[in-house]
């Protein structure tokens, strides 16, 4: 029945989201999408990231087959990361999502502002939880 079809999509999507949705993995993927990079190159391309976080993100992406890790024989030896074929194929649906997000962002921000500007109605939270949402949202490195 219908439920079955939906649930498979749900699961597949959740798997995907779980992979990308931690704090850095998605950003790292985008930083790596244009061209291969070495470890510390990536670290510079993603300001604010820790070695630990970068390693975790790369391992995660590598495990899912999204990026490939290659040892380059130079002096001193280095490691080069690049997005794989399947990783590139993921870019397309991601771009669709990104375009939607860019277009709808104003509407979303407006909805957020409207929602936040009525502490009476059924607002339970003491506005402490909402604070970070906004700051994170507005953040744009220009």
Partner DNA sequence: CCGAATCCGTCGCGATACTG
Partner DNA sequence: CAGTATCGCGACGGATTCGG
Residue numbers at the binding site for a second copy (CB under 8 A): 4, 6-18, 20-21, 26-27, 30, 62-65, 69, 86, 89-90, 92-94, 96-102, 104-105, 107-108, 110-112, 115-116, 122, 130, 133, 136-137, 139-142
Residues in contact with DNA by the rule CB under 7 A: 22-24, 38-41, 48-53, 55-56, 58-59, 69, 76, 78-81, 122, 124-125, 129
Which of 61, 2, 1 is closest to 26 using CA atoms?
Answer: 61
- Residue 51 touches which member of a second copy, DNA, none, C-beta under 5-8 Å by kind: DNA
Closest approach, Cβ 92 to DNA, in A, equals 25
- Of 17 and 72, CB closest to a second copy: 17
Which of 129, 124, 64 is closest to 90 using CA atoms?
Answer: 64
- Of 79 and 96, CB closest to DNA: 79
- Residue 141 touches which member of DNA, a second copy, none, C-beta under 5-8 Å by kind: a second copy
Kindly tell me the sign of the dihedral angle through the C-alpha atoms of 25, 31, 36, 39: negative
Distances (CA, A) of 3 to 9, 16, 139: 10, 20, 39
Closest approach, Cβ 75 to a second copy, in A, equals 20
How far is Cα 73 from Cα 77, in angstroms, rounded to an integer? Answer: 5
- Residue 17 touches which member of DNA, a second copy, none, C-beta under 5-8 Å by kind: a second copy
Write b or e for each residue in 104-128: b if 16 or more Cβ atoms lie within 10 A of its Cβ, otherwise e.
Answer: eeeeeeeeeeeeeeeeeeeeeeeee
């Amino acid at each position: 029945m219908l439920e079955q079809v939906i649930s498979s999509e749900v699961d597949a999507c959740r798997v995907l989201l779980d992979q990308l949705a931690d704090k850095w993995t998605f950003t790292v993927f985008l930083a790596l999408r244009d061209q291969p990079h070495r470890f510390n190159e990536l670290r510079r391309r993603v300001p604010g990231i820790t070695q630990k976080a970068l390693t975790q993100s790369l391992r995660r992406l590598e495990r899912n087959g999204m990026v490939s890790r290659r040892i380059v024989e130079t002096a001193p030896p280095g490691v080069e990361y690049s997005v794989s074929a399947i990783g590139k194929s993921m870019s397309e649906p991601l771009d669709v999502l990104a375009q939607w997000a860019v277009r709808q962002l104003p509407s979303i921000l407006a909805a957020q502002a409207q929602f936040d500007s009525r502490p009476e109605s059924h607002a339970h939270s003491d506005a402490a939880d909402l604070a970070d949402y906004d700051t994170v949202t507005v953040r744009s490195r220009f």
